[in-house]
């Protein structure tokens, strides 16, 4: 879910002069939906690759490109996490996806775009596509 970060802005007496004159104050409240934790994937070796950093305003969309680790790798398993720790398994696992049908190629040649998209309701959608 999304955290709500609030900010209170005071409109000085020049803008709210009439109300200030009778002893009242006016306040504008600005609410900003943000991601409470960083969102990312687990890389080979167990590290967490952050795709959307915590406190990113919603809605948000980020794309990062990754590649295969092994020669002739036809599929990629992508675990999805939220959290701030550098080791993925120490964060909260949200789910995973499997991208298959990658054409046979040497390691490091396929380009895989991983997209994280969060709508204004805080719903996360993760997609992966081989270029």
8 Å CB contact between 113 and 129? yes
Q: Which of 34, 106, 40, 94 is nearest to 68 (CA)?
A: 106
Give the CB-side neighbour count of residue 110, counting CA atoms within 13 A.
Answer: 25
C-alpha dist (Å) from residue 94 to 16, 60, 90, 126: 47, 18, 12, 11
Q: Looking at residue 21, what is its pLDDT?
A: 53
Q: Looking at residue 28, what is its pLDDT?
A: 72
Which pTM value belongs to this model? 0.77
- C-alpha–C-alpha distance, residues 97 and 42, integer Å: 11
Q: What is the pLDDT along the chain (131 residues), one digit of tens a residue?
A: 333 333 334 444 444 455 445 556 666 777 788 999 999 999 999 999 999 999 999 999 999 999 999 999 999 999 999 999 999 999 999 999 999 999 999 999 999 999 999 999 999 999 999 98
- C-alpha–C-alpha distance, residues 120 and 118, integer Å: 7
């Amino acid at each position: 879910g999304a955290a709500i970060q609030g900010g209170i802005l005071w409109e000085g007496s020049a803008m709210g002069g009439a109300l200030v004159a009778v002893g009242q104050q006016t306040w504008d409240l600005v609410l900003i939906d943000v991601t409470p934790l960083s969102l990312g994937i687990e890389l080979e070796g167990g590290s967490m690759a952050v795709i959307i950093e915590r406190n990113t305003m919603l809605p948000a969309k980020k794309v990062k490109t990754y590649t295969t680790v092994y020669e002739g790798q036809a599929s990629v398993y992508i675990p999805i996490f939220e959290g701030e720790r550098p080791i993925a398994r120490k964060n909260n696992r949200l789910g995973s996806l499997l991208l298959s049908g990658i054409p046979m190629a040497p390691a490091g040649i396929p380009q895989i775009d991983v997209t994280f998209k969060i709508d204004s309701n805080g719903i996360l959608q993760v997609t992966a596509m081989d270029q």
